[in-house]
Amino acid sequence: MSDLGVRGLTLRGRRATALCVVLTVVFLLLAAGTVLGSQAPALHANSVPQVGRTTMICTTSAPPRGEPTGKTEIWAVAVREGTDRPGVLTGSSLLSPKPAGIKVTEQGKGAQLRRVDSPVVLAGDGAMATAGSAVIVGEATEGPEAGLKAAPCMAPGTSHWFSGLGVSEDDRTDLILSNPDDAQAEVDLRFYGRSGRVPVPGSPGVVIEAHKSRTVSLDTGLQAEGPISVAIQASQGRVTAVAKRTQSDQLKPAGVDWQVPSASPNRVVVIPGVPGDDGRRQLAVTNPNNSRATVAVQVLGLQGPYAPTGAASVDVPAEGTATVNLEAGLAGEAASIKLNSDVPVTGAVISSSRRSGAGTDLAAQSAAPPLTGAGVSALATTNMADSELMISNCGEDDAQISFEVFSYNGVTLRTADMVLGANSTATRRLNSPDPSYVVVKVPDGSSVVGSVVLTQPDRDVAGLATIPLGSPDVASRAPAIRPDYSAGQ
Amino acid sequence: MDSHITLTGSYEDRPGGSRGWPGLMPVDVEDLGFDENPWAWADYADDETQRRVDVSGANVTAVLVTLDAARWLPATLTALANLDTRPTRLIAIDNKSTDATPTLLDEACRDGLLDAVYQGNRTLGFGAAVKAALHSDTANLQEDADTIGFRAVSVHDTRWLWLLHDDAVPAPDALYQLLAHVTIDPSIDLTGPKLLLPRQRHGGQPISEVGVSISGTGRRELELDADEIDQGQRDEPQERLGVSTCGMLVRAAVWEQLDGLDPAVPVFRDGVEFGWRAHLNGYSVVTTPSAQVTHRQVGRAGLRPRGLTGGRPGKVDRLLGMLVVAGHAPRRLLPLVWLRLVWSCLLRAVGYLIGKVPGRALDEMLALGSFVAHPGRLVQLRKRTAAIEPMPGTREVVESLRPRWWSGLRVGIDALTGAASERYRSLAGDSDVATLDELTGDDFSSATDDRPKNIWLNPIALAMAVAVVASFVAARGLIGRGSLVGPALLPAHDSVLSMWRTVVAAIPGAPSQVTPPWEALAALGSTATFGQPEWFTTLLLCGVVPLTLLAAYPLARRVINDRRVRLWACGTYALLPVLLGGTNQGRLVLSVVAIGLPLLVMAARALVLRRTRTPEAWRGAWGAGVVLIALVAFEPSMIMFAVLVGILGAVALRRSPRKIGRIGIALGVPLVVLLPWWPSLISAPGRLFVGPDSAVDGTAEAPQAWQLLLGREVGPGLPPLWVGAVIFGVIWLVALLGLARRPARRAVLTAWAAALVGLGMAVALSKLVVSVPPAGTDVRPWVGSYLLLGFGALIIAGGLGLDGFSADMKERSFSWLQPGTVFAGIAVCLVSLGGAVWWVLAGANGPIERSRLDAIPPYVMNAMKSDAQPRLLAIDLTDGSARYAVLADDQARLGDADRGFTFGGSVPAREQVDDLVVRLVAGTADSDINPQLSNLGIGYVWVTGADQDVKARIDNTPGLGTASGNERGIVWKLEPPVTRAVLVNGPARAPVGPSPTSVPAAAEPRQLQIGESADVRWHADLDGKPLAGVAEGWQQVFTVPPGGGTVTYVLPSIMPWLLPAQGLVLLVAAVLAAPAIRRPEVRDPAKTARRAATLSELA
């Protein structure tokens, strides 16, 4: 190809001109590329998951025949989510589809159901599917079940873990399995004793009819010493499981509580809401693995983490359960317990109240998963007991959290922010007018757990119960999702 | 045959057979008295050569058939007059010539050369004319009992018939040689001479024919090389299937018994047909090469338009060839033979079309048409051949004398390899054209320096070999079974049929969209790679460097003279696709652009520079159009670039309308071929800026402009920063040096302009986020193609600018410049070499990989392919996020992203899957998950990378069956089992199979949910009665009346109609772009024959 005819320019001039032109264009390209912002993908406004109907079961059971029934209530709330989706939270009896007299139609509000004597199913539709939260609380002043018992209402599932259940005359456990679905469920029970697996005839293939509850008493036919752990695995359908713990001391009632399932075994688990008094604190650790577990116990105290005296480490046999007393290590301090293990374990703490001149009561604290988004307890303050909010940050970074107490009419009663240090616990006494509920907001990615501790300081029985906070909006705990057609290759 | 008798005669001009040379040299030199007279052997004479066979006992009737032969007949008559052995009787028959032929014959008769001249008919074929002449001659001679007439007495009598053409010039001893041969070997019943073409002015005499056979496709099999000069190499008598009727000597009794030549084969193939029958009857057909006849072949030259050969001798020859083959085929094989003949005709026609010889393609098609339309001739011929009762063993003899079934393939391969070899020699710089210096024997010829001594040791050949080996080494991790998968590459289809089915299928839920054309081209490529889509993908990705080198070198050879600069430019350009992450990311588009761009530039260059007015002059335009089809199909925005360049070119060439027309063709071809796609692009313009399956790309962060200008941040799999920065930095530097050296050269400036436009496009496009059909997926365009264009143009600019720099240095007086230049050149080459080393050492190290696609358990895959056709929701939680895909049928395959995967254009379905995945992995366990999954046709959920918590959460979902799985993942099957199509009757959902499917009767109307995206084009009917569509949700629903029957539903597509039309236009464009057949004897054999005849006249 020929040369471009440019008159009046020498080769040097042409060279300079050409180089100047291209360098200028390159510079402009760089400048434009740097100055011009890049387009961002459009955000999809409708990104809130359209969760369908969710159910939870508030499990209760009648006391032994002829014994005082006490009173049992269900407290249900629908936290405010900020969406305009309509929804309703309704209760019905597990055994029959008739309404149970509890209904929440507005976000932020709550409702109570008194005199509950059978399991109740709470169904959340629309916005309430991810906003509903409920607690069942019971109180008896006399009889073998004298004491305070409380537990959050639970969603059905296929796998449940219980640590440190009692299997003796003085420490009875009734496993209450409820099936809210239309098809029967079948579960297998596995028992982990002090020295390993405990074979129990008839434990596999326990059938729970549709819309029925079934109670399995662990103190009958179980040849094991000491606390025992139970794994419930549904081979068909799904169930909720709650363990009713009843303790006695030389035939005198020594407390009662509903023990909720512990979080699934993991290398790090946290047991929130161990109350602060001088009562007994027994940590039970379950190791479902084939190898021995060495578990480091860490107390997430008010001043930070520390190893409890005499219980800094627990060795748990393969497929076994180990217990250790923490009261010496805790020294009456309210705290959460963090277990670090070389193999996945789970655990629970069985606490007893102690007050001179009053009967003791029992409270079970189970390992719980960290909160996602917000943690809710449908019961913050009640005329039955004093309340204290206990929040623990089991992460390695400080966490900026806030909590709000709402009345059941949706009115904000109290708001507070706090910075929670790594591996530490904070408590706040709740004294707002009852009934109220509490919502704790935690940052994304944090590892915060919490509970509401109920105590009865002026009763004949030193009532004690803990209600772990739960995250009703479980959808928010989903990781980031994106379509990727390499999945499945 | 008696070996002591040679048949050399008095014809002294015989090439290679002069009687002055002995047959054998003496062996014992002592016996020659070597010491006394070293040249004594020259006096050695073989008495044997003087021996002549007594042929006087043979009675020969020669028949000369003439038609309009006044131009050639005198030579024939003269040759007949000069025969040293005359036939017993020489008669002629004229088929009513309109020229001076009758006069010439009458004169010859009067002169006593001819014994009689008879009148024939113009419609008579050669065989019929001979028969008529013999019949007339016999009648004339009936009265004279002593006259030797033509009557068969016995098979072994001594009467012979010698057939002569009016354009044949027998050598003086031709008849003697024939007779001597049959006398020596009495078993011969039919023989023919060596036919030669007229002698060329400065060359030897080409052999025309020494016996003939016929292939299974009717091809004339001469067993000669093209233009083979007679040097005596074919002088051994051989048994052949037939001999030409020109000069054929046949025993009279045999002629009588076989009833002469077959009337169904009036010309051309009559000799081989006759020989075939002779063989079957147990007669011997042998050539007599010592007898020579010069045959002008005026019939084949088309110089006898009034004859049976007409104006299209090629067509007649082809037709008669097919007739002969089909006529002799065994009855049971006739259908196959017929089909093979038809197929071969079509194939040859296509071949001639591709070679741009439409005349010969027309001959083939006309012959085929005549062959098919007139079966009567075949029937008559077969009747006659059926009457033959073959002698034992003769069929085997015939088969042994015919070419094997693969001979046609061999011929085709020979032609292709010959053409490829020719192209290679041209590419490698070897040329048959000698320079003036070489012709004049100049010792200092400038041409010798640059001409390779061995074309296989040419630098580009070596570079290619190295590139191929390096590609294998670099792709070492990708060799094996399975499918290539990468961030931008979905696995290839299992079969090319599946791929073609996808190409023609409509996209449900996207009425305005069709399957993008790149997939059709990929299917075409996969068809070419033996129907293996995986091979095509692997070739494009793993072989991109040698393929790019191969594409770039011809361009570089044309524009860069310095071989070293040329090699650097080609090598560096060929490395660009891997340096920009094309292979590691699985970017088919980058391979196509890298290979296509040099071809496009070369075609555009030809478009501008070719000045001749022959059809070849338009090849550049068609070639540019064809290349643009591929480029635009894979990178649609290239059309904008092409239109811009086209407009600028048209302005620059405004004074040359023809060239503007060529530009119009170049731009028009992709516009026309891709016509069905343009509405899709107009309705979704975002697709214009992205390449194949871009929906899998996502919206990554936009790279910084400076990073792009160093070839960075265009995805994973790039070389280390310092490697990339150094290589691309050197490219910038070389381009700037090239510009500084030649700042006014148009080519350099054009390359720089292209580079800046390409890089500018890359920067601009990288800032965009576009919506990609059919589901409106947001995608950030991948700009690697424009970076390649930009850097490729910079390389060319640098190469053009620095071309000849070393020569300039040689001319300067020695200073620091020379060593500095050498070191700089070495450094630049080392940098490129470093890039190659990185490529080879690091290899295709991912993220591309070869996957067995076996993560999903086989029983689930089988279920997905069953009549129920459930889909699978696959969720991968391995990296902390939830990556998911909905798989159907045979998983996601190449091109599925552009078709919206299994949900086509349905955005609601896609959004619902998003929602469901969130709820599943979050463990909301709500009761709507199962019905919604079922509604989407999802029957299985497969999860990998989940911890116990997540497993438990998903497990809690009501309606998911018991989990099962292996180390790769866990599968939940929905309960009850899901089918894609269901018949909904109130709360009852009855599964139905794929279309067509039977539905039972019911009391009331029901709804058929087919599990595919709603689309107005869906059509369904119940036993032929159309069903009404219902708007409900994401999927297509039809109302089914109470009655039962067979329901058929289909999504009609126009692509099955459009694709062939597109293919036809593409084929035409490709044919017009392809190089034409250059060999004149193939392009126009009649013309070649005509030239030969004319030359002989001049001589």
φ/ψ region of A404 (left if φ > 0, alpha if ψ in -120 to 50, else beta) reads beta
Q: Which of B769, B921, B926 faces A52 most closely, judged by CB atoms?
A: B926
From the CA of A260, how many Å to the nearest CA of chain B?
Answer: 16
**Could you tell me if A484 lies within 8 Å of chain B, comparing CB atoms?**
yes
Q: Which of A11, A22, A369 faces B739 most closely, judged by CB atoms?
A: A22
Residues A1, A10: Cα–Cα separation, whole Å: 20
Q: Kindly determine whether residue B925 and residue A157, on different chains, have CB atoms separated by under 8 Å.
A: yes
Q: Is B569 helix (H, G, I), strand (E, B) or coil?
A: helix
- Of all residues in chain A, the one with the smallest CA distance to B874 is A488
**Could you tell me if A233 lies within 8 Å of chain B, comparing CB atoms?**
no
Checking if the pLDDT of A47 tops 70, the result is no
Residues 6+ apart with CB under 8 A from B837: none
Asked whether A78 and A158 are in contact (CB, 8 A), the reply is no
Listed range (A7-16, B252-261, B740-749, B892-901) with the worst mean pLDDT: A7-16
Mutation pick from A56, A372, A484 vs chain B, by most beta carbons of B within 10 Å, is A484
- Chain B positions touching A1 (Cβ under 8 A) are 745-747, 750
Tokens representing residue A137 in the block? 């609380």
pLDDT-derived band at B14, boundaries 50, 70, 90 = very low
Mutation pick from A1, A270, A341 vs chain B, by most beta carbons of B within 10 Å, is A1
Q: Which of B1010, B976, B970, B1018 is nearest to B993 (CA)?
A: B1010
Average pLDDT over residues B707-715: 88
Asked whether A354 and A360 are in contact (CB, 8 A), the reply is yes
**Could you tell me if B491 lies within 8 Å of chain A, comparing CB atoms?**
yes
Average pLDDT over residues A297-312: 92
Average pLDDT over residues B215-219: 90
Checking if the pLDDT of B884 tops 70, the result is yes
Residues B699, A112: Cα–Cα separation, whole Å: 49
Residues B698, A260: Cα–Cα separation, whole Å: 43
Q: Which of A3, A22, A41 faces B746 most closely, judged by CB atoms?
A: A3
Q: Kindly determine whether residue A474 and residue B923, on different chains, have CB atoms separated by under 8 Å.
A: yes
Report chain B's mean pLDDT, rounded to a whole number: 85
pLDDT tens column, B314-337:
999 999 999 999 999 999 999 999
CA distances from B634 to A343, A484, B772 (A): 52, 22, 14
pLDDT tens column, B762-798:
999 999 999 999 988 999 999 999 999 999 999 999 9
AA identity, residue B941: V
SS (H, E, C) A364-378: EEECECCCCCEEEEE
- Chain B positions touching A238 (Cβ under 8 A) are 925, 955-956, 958
From the CA of B329, how many Å to the nearest CA of chain A?
Answer: 54
Q: Kindly determine whether residue B919 and residue A34, on different chains, have CB atoms separated by under 8 Å.
A: no
Q: Kindly determine whether residue B704 and residue A34, on different chains, have CB atoms separated by under 8 Å.
A: yes
Residues B374, B743: Cα–Cα separation, whole Å: 70
Average pLDDT over residues B528-544: 94
pLDDT for res B574: 95
AA identity, residue B516: P
Task: Tell the residue number behind the tokens 């070997």, with chain if given.
Answer: B185
pLDDT for res A474: 77
Element (H, E) at B134: helix B126-141
The dihedral over CA atoms of B312, B317, B319, B324, expressed in degrees to the nearest 10, equals 160
From the CA of A129, how many Å to the nearest CA of chain B?
Answer: 8
pLDDT tens column, B987-1030:
888 999 888 999 988 888 999 999 999 999 999 999 989 999 98
- Of all residues in chain B, the one with the smallest CA distance to A445 is B880
Asked whether A475 and A54 are in contact (CB, 8 A), the reply is no
φ/ψ region of A70 (left if φ > 0, alpha if ψ in -120 to 50, else beta) reads left
AA identity, residue B68: D
Checking if the pLDDT of A6 tops 70, the result is no
Average pLDDT over residues B52-80: 90
Portion 951-990 of B in contact with A at CB < 8 A: 952-953, 955-956, 958, 962
Average pLDDT over residues B1075-1084: 72
Q: Kindly determine whether residue A478 and residue B882, on different chains, have CB atoms separated by under 8 Å.
A: yes
Listed range (B370-374, B442-446, B559-563, B848-852) with the worst mean pLDDT: B442-446
**Could you tell me if A488 lies within 8 Å of chain B, comparing CB atoms?**
yes
pLDDT-derived band at A220, boundaries 50, 70, 90 = low
pLDDT for res A45: 47
Element (H, E) at A57: strand A54-58
Q: Which of A22, A42, A157 faces B752 most closely, judged by CB atoms?
A: A22
- Chain A positions touching B1033 (Cβ under 8 A) are none
Cis peptide leading into B774, omega within 30 of 0?
A: yes
- Chain B positions touching A14 (Cβ under 8 A) are 743-744
Listed range (A319-333, A371-385, B430-444) with the worst mean pLDDT: B430-444
Q: Kindly determine whether residue A156 and residue B747, on different chains, have CB atoms separated by under 8 Å.
A: no
- Of all residues in chain A, the one with the smallest CA distance to B766 is A38
Eight-class DSSP state of B1091: H
Q: Kindly determine whether residue B955 and residue A158, on different chains, have CB atoms separated by under 8 Å.
A: yes
pLDDT-derived band at B25, boundaries 50, 70, 90 = very low
Cis peptide leading into B170, omega within 30 of 0?
A: no
DSSP string, A206-265: EEE-TTEEEEEETTSS----S-EEEEEEEEES-BEEEEEEEEEETTEEEEEEEEPPBPPP
Q: Is B876 helix (H, G, I), strand (E, B) or coil?
A: strand
> How far from each other are the two terminal CA atoms of chain B, in whole angstroms?
38
pTM: 0.77
Asked whether A468 and A152 are in contact (CB, 8 A), the reply is yes
Asked whether A55 and A153 are in contact (CB, 8 A), the reply is no
Q: Kindly determine whether residue A29 and residue B696, on different chains, have CB atoms separated by under 8 Å.
A: no
Q: Which of A158, A153, A258 is nearest to A215 (CA)?
A: A258
- Chain A positions touching B944 (Cβ under 8 A) are 487
Asked whether A258 and A140 are in contact (CB, 8 A), the reply is no
Tokens representing residue A461 in the block? 């029985």
- Chain A positions touching B915 (Cβ under 8 A) are 49-50
**Could you tell me if B236 lies within 8 Å of chain A, comparing CB atoms?**
no
Checking if the pLDDT of B8 tops 50, the result is no
pLDDT for res B37: 54
Q: Kindly determine whether residue A17 and residue B743, on different chains, have CB atoms separated by under 8 Å.
A: yes
Tokens representing residue B592 in the block? 């196509």
Q: What φ, ψ does residue A132 adopt, rounded to 5°?
A: -80, 140
CA distances from A209 to A61, A182, A236, A267, B956 (A): 17, 9, 11, 35, 17
Q: Which of B756, B921, B924 faces A22 most closely, judged by CB atoms?
A: B756
From the CA of A153, how many Å to the nearest CA of chain B?
Answer: 15
pLDDT for res B1053: 93
Question: Strand pairing partners for A193?
Answer: A196
Q: Which of A36, A54, A265 faces B767 most closely, judged by CB atoms?
A: A36
Q: Which of B318, B344, B329 is nearest to B381 (CA)?
A: B329
pLDDT for res A324: 94
Q: Which of B164, B162, B94 is nearest to B129 (CA)?
A: B94
Residues 6+ apart with CB under 8 A from B878: B944, B945
Residues B835, B125: Cα–Cα separation, whole Å: 72
Q: Kindly determine whether residue B926 and residue A54, on different chains, have CB atoms separated by under 8 Å.
A: yes
**Could you tell me if B699 lies within 8 Å of chain A, comparing CB atoms?**
yes
Residues B372, A329: Cα–Cα separation, whole Å: 105
Task: Tell the residue number behind the tokens 């292709």, with chain if given.
Answer: B416
Cis peptide leading into A468, omega within 30 of 0?
A: no
pLDDT tens column, B131-181:
999 999 888 876 554 444 444 444 456 789 999 999 999 999 999 999 999
From the CA of B171, how many Å to the nearest CA of chain A?
Answer: 59
Residues B56, B85: Cα–Cα separation, whole Å: 9
pLDDT for res B156: 52
From the CA of A465, how many Å to the nearest CA of chain B?
Answer: 26
Q: What is the Cβ-side half-sphere exposure of residue B153, based on CA atoms within 13 angstroms?
A: 9
Tokens representing residue A187 in the block? 């579960």
Q: Which of B193, B167, B171, B169 is nearest to B181 (CA)?
A: B193
**Could you tell me if A18 lies within 8 Å of chain B, comparing CB atoms?**
yes
Q: What φ, ψ does residue B694 adopt, rounded to 5°?
A: -70, -15
Tokens representing residue B308 in the block? 């049976």
Question: Strand pairing partners for B973?
Answer: B940
Element (H, E) at A420: strand A412-420
**Could you tell me if A182 lies within 8 Å of chain B, comparing CB atoms?**
no
pLDDT-derived band at B226, boundaries 50, 70, 90 = confident
Portion 328-367 of A in contact with B at CB < 8 A: 344
CA B77 to chain centre: 48
Mutation pick from B734, B883, B938 vs chain A, by most beta carbons of A within 10 Å, is B883
Asked whether A133 and A448 are in contact (CB, 8 A), the reply is no
Portion 856-885 of B in contact with A at CB < 8 A: 856, 872, 874-877, 880-885
From the CA of A385, how many Å to the nearest CA of chain B?
Answer: 32
- Chain A positions touching B743 (Cβ under 8 A) are 11, 14-15, 17-19
Q: Is B379 helix (H, G, I), strand (E, B) or coil?
A: helix
Q: Is A432 helix (H, G, I), strand (E, B) or coil?
A: coil
Helix locations, B431-478, DSSP H: 436-439, 447-450, 459-474
From the CA of A122, how many Å to the nearest CA of chain B?
Answer: 13
Taking residue A56's Cβ as centre, other Cβ atoms within 10 Å add up to 25
CB burial string A214-241: b at 16+ within 10 A, e below: bebebbeebebebbbbbbbbbebbbbbb
Q: Which of B958, B936, B954 is nearest to B944 (CA)?
A: B954
Q: What φ, ψ does residue A173 adopt, rounded to 5°?
A: -130, 130
- Of all residues in chain A, the one with the smallest CA distance to B896 is A485
From the CA of A101, how many Å to the nearest CA of chain B?
Answer: 22
Report chain A's mean pLDDT, rounded to a whole number: 88
Q: Is B400 helix (H, G, I), strand (E, B) or coil?
A: helix
Residues B282, B258: Cα–Cα separation, whole Å: 11
Checking if the pLDDT of A403 tops 50, the result is yes
